[in-house]
Amino acid sequence: MDPKPTVFLRRLFSSVMLWGVSLGTIISGHELGFLVVIGGLGMLSLVEYFRMLAAGRLPSFPGLGLFGGAVLTAGGFYFCQRSGVDAAMVFESAALALLVLGLFSRQLLERNGGRPALEAVAYTVFGVVYIPLLFGFVTKLVYLTPRGVSGALTGQYYVLWLILVTKFSDMGAYVTGSLFGKHLLIPSVSPKKTWEGFFGALAFSVGGGWGLVAWIPERLPLLTPGLAAALGLGLGFAAIVGDLAESSIKRSAGAKDSGGVLPGIGGGLDLIDSILFTAPLLYLYLRFFRGAL
């Protein structure tokens, strides 16, 4: 087992590199860059998901699942860019319906029907909904607000705020849990997470959400510092649930990490698990309660 300082340094190195890429893409506002980063992380995570299923001897149709995920990701981005987020949602609904049709058609070719076939369809659909569909709300945030006078994107700063709040939750849980953690949160799901880490995660999310809006209020006109702090509390809680949800999936599949491409962190799914839950919530709040679009 690696000593804690080594694990921390690996995690710090991976985090700095990822933040550098993310910040560069967000600040540049380069639309192709968003597709590459969002699509790349989403598809990497979906590959890891199907690998975990295979390692845990859980049935699925990874080929169709990956194809469906790629279509959902690329098509969602295309329609967000050309026609808006509503058109993207219509496309995604149609794509999911066709995927279910294709999966049931595929399972008819299996010799072993009954429960294994149904489980294969269910695990495949769940993976596509859980990762590409939920992660696609990051793209919708990018295109949620009108473009500037020059045609430049404006929604990417809400993605920056989302990432900061979500990752501050992860960081707060890790720091306070490592330093003060004594009381286990849900040991049956994650044996290392503590109540001290839970409250630390919420505190970091609130502080980070408030701080960024106070620093660049002109980039985030739909949020005030007070609202950002309150919303940071809710999203911080959602980030914790997202992290625990992935832990539950890994435990069911008998995996420690979703992958090993990110030193100190694990795989792509370990990186975005919390965002899968926070991105849809932020999108829905801005859309229906703050009048975006």
d(CA 183, CA 170): 18
- How much of the chain exceeds pLDDT 70, in percent? 86
Q: Residue 151: CB partners within 8 Å, gap ≥ 6?
A: none
The pLDDT value recorded for residue 6 is 62
Residue 216 in this model has a pLDDT that exceeds 90: yes
Round to whole Å and give the CA distance between 293 and 158. 14
Structure token pair of residue 176: 């306070």
**Mean pLDDT value across residues 23-42:** 83
pLDDT digits (tens, 9 = 90+) for 234-255: 999 999 999 999 999 998 888 7
CA distances, 50 to each of 46, 99, 100, 292 (Å)? 6, 16, 17, 36
Distance between CA 231 and CA 213 in Å, rounded?
12
Nearest CA-CA partner of 141 in 241, 287, 23, 24? 287
Give the per-residue pLDDT at 8: 56
DSSP string across 97-162: HHHHHHHHHHHTT-SS-SHHHHHHHHHHHHHHIIIIIHHHHHHHHHTTSPP-TTS---THHHHHHH
- Amino acid, res. 71: V
Cβ–Cβ < 8 Å for 223, 229 = no
What's the pLDDT at 187? Answer: 85
**Mean pLDDT for all residues in the chain:** 88
pLDDT in tens, 128-187: 999 999 999 999 999 999 888 888 888 999 999 999 999 899 889 988 998 898 888 888
Say whether pLDDT at 1 is over 50: no
For residue 14, the model assigns a pLDDT of 59
Q: What are φ and ψ of residue 194, in 5° steps?
A: -125, 165
Q: How confident is the model at residue 290 (pLDDT cuts 50, 70, 90)?
A: confident
- Determine what percent of the chain is predicted with pLDDT higher than 90: 61
